[in-house]
Amino acid sequence: MTVPTAVPFTLEDYAARMARVVTDARAAGLDGVLVTPGPDLVWLTGYRPTALTERLTMLFLQEDREPTLLVPTLERPDAEGAVGSAAATLVDWPDGADPYAAASALLRPDGRYGVSDNAWALHLLSLQTALPGTAYDSLTRRLPMLRAVKDDNELARLAAAGAAADATYEEIVTVRFAGRRETDVAGDLADLLRGFGHEQVDFTVVGSGPNGANPHHEAGDRTIEVGDCVVLDFGGLLAGYGSDTSRTVSVGEPSAEVSEVHEVVRLAQQAGVEAVRPGVACQEVDRAARRVITDAGYGEQFLHRTGHGIGVTTHEPPYMIEGEELPLVPGMCFSVEPGVYLAGRFGVRIEDIVTVTQDGGRRLNDSPRDLRVVG
């Protein structure tokens, strides 16, 4: 496959996102939003500081003020190099100065602000000390939908990442499993993801035999044997947007039990995807997949939520979980990944990234979901 070149985001794209944050913040009862380095800042400005340090970098988005990006003086040239930073006024602070005094001057002393979930406690605690009348809350708790609905350019990148994940899977089923360690196959997965255009690999799960029964097992020293069922779950970022795919393979012919459990999970995953429609609550996707597994008698062995959003990160809102009543909106992208985990024996998980369209769910990665036999 050829790696598509992404259309760059423009200054107008970033300015529109900043404006939307201000509008959404007001609707959520906030005076503004404070953004620190990480996915929110990348999405709003394209700025990804190379060194994450204790020095304060913060984007201030407030209703009655211009967007302002406060950066350490030595990092100003890097910040200026990001396309979207031109949509904000750049203010720098030199080493030795108090950045929280500079930040306080930008804030209302009694303001209520949403803050990036990954903001360092150091920065938030220092702001609270400088301005004791201010109040802060998690950005994803107050504005969970902020990055959830993707525009066409974002969807194209997610589709490219999904296609690269499909190409990776088609190759990985041709490599040798039996007699090699999980970490060897994980290395192959990482090489393939990079070869098909990913600039970042976030995870390469290879859960063979009993290790597959631990949903977050990554890869270890265990040597894969003939007769093993192996959970593969791999993903990362391509053109800044995520892939996340799971398939379960059998090394040699599967037992009747593995085949049966795999078929239950395959049908559950299909039911989850078919539940996707605009206006349906997120929890309905979880319920649809879970019902199939529960009816087959494996409800207790489905240990996690059915899915999570994906975008500039590989795990973000919205979450497909019981209790999440947010309605699905066209342009949302998330995983549908039911699994069954039989402790000490084996696990099965099947995962695709799905986007919401007017006509229902459309898979962004779509390699075959039947139980593949590998060597």
Point out which residues bind Zn ion (CB under 5 A): 233, 244, 246, 335, 351
Query: 131 or 348, CB closer to Zn ion?
Result: 348
Tokens 């696990």: give the residue. Answer: 347
We find the least distance from the C-beta atom of residue 304 to Zn ion, in angstroms, to be 7
Query: 56 or 333, CB closer to Zn ion?
Result: 333
We find the least distance from the C-beta atom of residue 117 to Zn ion, in angstroms, to be 16
We find the least distance from the C-beta atom of residue 161 to Zn ion, in angstroms, to be 13
Query: 62 or 246, CB closer to Zn ion?
Result: 246
Q: Report yes or no: 156 and 6 within 8 Å, Cβ to Cβ.
A: yes
Query: 36 or 306, CB closer to Zn ion?
Result: 306
We find the least distance from the C-beta atom of residue 330 to Zn ion, in angstroms, to be 21
We find the least distance from the C-beta atom of residue 116 to Zn ion, in angstroms, to be 21
Query: 244 or 316, CB closer to Zn ion?
Result: 244
Q: Report yes or no: 344 and 210 within 8 Å, Cβ to Cβ.
A: yes
We find the least distance from the C-beta atom of residue 1 to Zn ion, in angstroms, to be 21
* Beta-carbon count within 10 A of 178 CB: 15
We find the least distance from the C-beta atom of residue 241 to Zn ion, in angstroms, to be 14
Query: 286 or 351, CB closer to Zn ion?
Result: 351
Query: 123 or 308, CB closer to Zn ion?
Result: 308
Q: What span, in angstroms and rounded, lies between the C-alpha atoms of 219 and 59?
A: 38
